[in-house]
Amino acid sequence: MPELPEAERARAQIEKVLGREIVFVDDRDTYVCRPHAPGEIAEALIGRTLTVAHRRGKFLWAETSDDGPELGLHLGMAGRIAIDEPAHEKWDRFALEFADGSRLALRDKRRLGRALIEPDFDHIGPDAALISRDAFRERVGRGSMPLKARLLDQRSLAGVGNLLADETLWRAKLNPKRAAGELSEEELDHLRRVLRAATRDAIRKGGVHTGDFIPHRKRGHACPRCGTTVDRATVGGRTTFWCPNCQP
DNA sequence: AGGTCTGTTCAGCT
DNA sequence: TAGCTGAACAGACC
């Protein structure tokens, strides 16, 4: 279940194959490669190389040589980038093969990942790890939506998933159900600092889904800070855990 | 073995 | 327009 930290690892993986000539593209999965027909992505990429790998939030894209189209990739909920691993017939939803025999695959059990050319990121907000203080105040601190729902909205802010949202709100001692627009500037600034720190920690630990990032995120578990049993509810359409004592 | 849960994005409502 | 709901997917889990 990739979030920003996992996406950054994936971007680094893509960097390993920059400059290699693409000789084959497996774009047969019309769901993952929508809206393209089979062969369209292949036609656009064969003969070119990937030149630069970018990321904003969870969205990945690579520039291609000779003014070629950009290649957009998204890991969905279960995807990862596999470099030079033996091909997996079922789970490799998209793949590039290079002239030197190496291979890049979008390996995704759930099939919610995406691969497409000329991706459009106009509607995606600034990266959660890079957003300025003023932009954060403006984009997050508005509206009547629950604060957690606002953090998960990739148009407001790109990169925060369910686990990172819970971890960040727990560290910041903010209740996920509070209306985002009712936070003070001080609370928003604090939230932004905590979010950046939590994101850095998650990247360092190799991702947010390693198990120990937010250990109390289970029914009936105790808050690591005060021992209170955590509450559980659906907020913004997502399962949410919080400490009713620390996050009033 | 079957039902429930999982998370992100997007379409389609109000 | 803002915000909410459910569909899409398919494996993990109980």
- pLDDT digits 0-9 by tens, A61-94: 999 999 999 999 999 888 999 999 999 989 999 9
Tokens for A92, please give them: 């490799």
Burial class of residue A103 (count of CB atoms within 10 Å of its CB; 0-12, 13-18, 19+)? buried
Closest nt by CA–C1' to A29 = C9
The pairing of strands A103-108 and A68-74 is: unpaired
The pairing of strands A50-56 and A68-74 is: unpaired
Q: Before A86, cis peptide (omega within 30)?
A: no
Closest nt by CA–C1' to A112 = C9
* pLDDT at site A213: 55
Q: Where are the domains of chain A?
A: 4-117, 133-242
Q: What percent of chain A has pLDDT over 90?
A: 68
Residue A203 binned pLDDT confidence (cut-offs 50, 70, 90)? confident
Q: A133-242: which CATH number, 3.60.20.10, 3.40.225.10, 1.10.8.50, 3.90.1200.10?
A: 1.10.8.50
- Give yes or no: A35 in active site: no
Calpha distance A86→A97 (Å, rounded): 12
In sequence order, what DSSP letters do the residues of A53-103 get, joined into one string?
EEEETTEEEEEETTTEEEEEEE-TTTEEEEESPPP-TTTEEEEEEETTS-E
Burial class of residue A245 (count of CB atoms within 10 Å of its CB; 0-12, 13-18, 19+)? middle
Q: Of these residues, A11, A20, A58, A217, which one is catalytic?
A: A58
Determine if strand B comes within 7 Å of the CB of A152: yes
- Give yes or no: A58 in active site: yes
CA–C1' A50–C9 (A): 29
Of the candidate ranges A133-142, A169-178, A207-216, the one whose mean pLDDT is the lowest: A207-216
Q: What mean pLDDT is predicted for residues A114-125?
A: 89
Ramachandran region of residue A66, left (φ > 0), alpha (ψ -120 to 50) or beta?
left
With H, G, I as helix, E, B as strand and everything else as coil, classify residue A173. coil
CA–C1' A49–C2 (A): 42
Residue A211 binned pLDDT confidence (cut-offs 50, 70, 90)? very low
In chain A, DSSP finds a helix count (H) and a strand count (E) of: 6, 10
Indicate whether A214 pLDDT > 70. no
Calpha distance A104→A238 (Å, rounded): 32
* pLDDT at site A186: 96
| Domain at A4-117: CATH code | 3.20.190.10
Determine if strand B comes within 7 Å of the CB of A77: yes
On whether the CB atoms of residues A232 and A240 are closer than 8 A, the answer is: yes
Residue A105 binned pLDDT confidence (cut-offs 50, 70, 90)? very high
Closest nt by CA–C1' to A146 = C3
On whether the CB atoms of residues A68 and A136 are closer than 8 A, the answer is: no
- Give yes or no: A38 in active site: no
Q: What percent of chain A has pLDDT over 70?
A: 95
- Give yes or no: A218 in active site: no
CA–C1' A205–C14 (A): 29
Calpha distance A167→A222 (Å, rounded): 14
Neighbours of A222 (CB within 10 A): 12
Residue A198 binned pLDDT confidence (cut-offs 50, 70, 90)? confident
Residues within a 7 A CB radius of strand C: A 31, 77, 90, 109-112, 142-146, 149, 181, 236-237
CA–C1' A24–C1 (A): 45
